[in-house]
Amino acid sequence: MGYKPDRGARGLPGGKPKYSIFSLARNAGSYHQDWQRAWRAPEPKAEYDAVIIGGGGHGLATAYYMAAVHGMTNIAVLEKGWLGGGNTGRNTTIIRSNYLWDESAAIYEHALKLWEGLAQDLNFNIMFSQRGVLTIAHSEHELREMSRRVHAIKLNGIDSDVLGPEEIKAFVPIINIDQSIRYPVMGGFLQKRGGTARHDAVAWGYARAADDLGVDIIQNCEVTGLRRNGDSIEGVETTRGFIKTPKVGCVVAGHCSVMAAMAGIRLPIASRPLQALVSEPIKPVLDTVIMSNAVHMYISQSDKGEMVLGAGVDKYNSYAQRGSFPTPEHMIAAGVELFPILSRLRMLRHWGGIVDTCPDASPIISRTDVKGLYFNCGWGTGGFKATPGSGHVFADLIAHDRPNKIAAPYSLDRFQTGLLIDEHGAAGVAH
């Protein structure tokens, strides 16, 4: 069942009581008054061995693996708001590893394998559900590109099956395969091991496990400056005072350019709003995830019964966590044709997050010219699925000050060497 990260001799469980059916029964007996806090709320120390900026899934996963795998426990995660309040808690939770390029397959499959054992590893129910992710094609051209992609995916040992319209209809009864609609369903490909996980639980699970190993998780603590001593990092200025540290990992997604500018670095990143919405809850009608790259729409049904719909990025750069109406309107118009059942539903909530996109739609996991300063960003519209893999390789990079084989292609120098990992060109969409 999945694989666990190599912990060496370290990473033994800390002192927290284990969540289990027995602890649930025991706490039910005391009306749930005796649950231990999932993580502490410590005051920041004056100095740490390393500081991670950003309490989203990637930052918390990084801190957890630094402690669990590399034995670095005198570290802090600094979050300006609340844990998971950024893109982690705003995303539509699609998890898959069926990317075109070898470098992408390596990192996303690494993450998927970690997902498969993550609930046990963290002792936290992250509600990981391998319900499958089906990507549909709407034209002959898309179908041809898809079959090329499926061959490449299979060569990397990743599961992928091509389905025709009738097979798709049998798999997803609510889909409309009438060929006269604007975006007819011509076929698709399915990754059965793909699916979803509960986003908040992922942040909370990593936070609890990291805290258990001694990591200080400090919320409401905004980093306002990066202090350098010549070519090395010296520490971080925060709203709760200066913190000295020789290593800083920046994992702030949509705000990574702002953070980089604090150290005088310019990143090849554009920050844009990405929107999603949920309908009122209904009975179960959809037990898989459907993606359409041409429409730029993806849909699944949450465990509560809400239909979860996501759109493409807005066409302009912004730091506002909301978007414009034309983008979801376009997605819903096509969605109603593809899933006529949607026309009867009312929208419940609608929101946006700020995604950090690189020109090649691949992330940055990298050292910088400032010694001790590292960036993990550029996950854009599709980084949730990478959370465990990203945290795992970034922790390794910070601990050893060199990228491992999976992380190496994602270094910043690819924008000088030209060795881009062009998933934009490959997939057109990177959710």
Ligand X SMILES: Cc1cc2nc3c(=O)[nH]c(=O)nc-3n(C[C@H](O)[C@H](O)[C@H](O)COP(=O)(O)OP(=O)(O)OC[C@H]3O[C@@H](n4cnc5c(N)ncnc54)[C@H](O)[C@@H]3O)c2cc1C
Residues at the interface with ligand X (CB under 6 A): 53-59, 78-81, 85-88, 90-94, 222-223, 251-253, 255, 274-276, 310, 353, 355, 379, 381-385, 431
Cβ proximity to ligand X: between 128 and 379 the closer is: 379
Residue number with CB closer to ligand X (54 or 188) = 54
Q: How far is the CB of 75 from ligand X (least distance, A)?
A: 15
376-408 per-residue burial string, b: 16 or more CB within 10 A, e: under 16: bbbbbbbbbbbbbbbbbbbbbbbbeeebeebbb
Give the whole-angstrom CA distance, residue 354 versus residue 103.
Answer: 25
For residue 378, the minimal CB distance to ligand X (Å) is 9
CB closer to ligand X out of 5 and 85: 85
Least Å distance, CB 73 to ligand X, is 21
Q: Judged by CB, which is closer to ligand X: 165, or 249? A: 249
Taking the complex as a whole, how short is the minimal distance between the CB of residue 55 and ligand X, in angstroms? 5
Half-sphere CA count of 167, side-chain side, radius 13 A: 11
Residue 10, CA distances (Å) to 29, 51, 81, 111, 289 in order: 35, 20, 31, 21, 37
CB closer to ligand X, 165 vs 205: 205
Tally: H helices and E strands in the chain: 11, 19
Beta strands in 268-420 (DSSP E): 270-281, 289-292, 297-301, 306-313, 347-357, 364-367, 373-377
Spell 342-371 as b/e; 16+ CB within 10 A means b: beebeeeeeebbbbbbbebbbbbbbbbebe
> What three-state secondary structure class fits 223?
strand
Residue 19 or residue 99: which is nearer to ligand X going by CB? 99
Cα–Cα distance for residue pair 131/127, rounded to 1 Å: 11
Question: Minimal distance in Å, beta carbon 423 to ligand X?
Answer: 12
Output 249 or 403, the one with its CB closest to ligand X: 249
Q: How far apart are alpha carbons 313 and 324 in whole angstroms?
A: 10
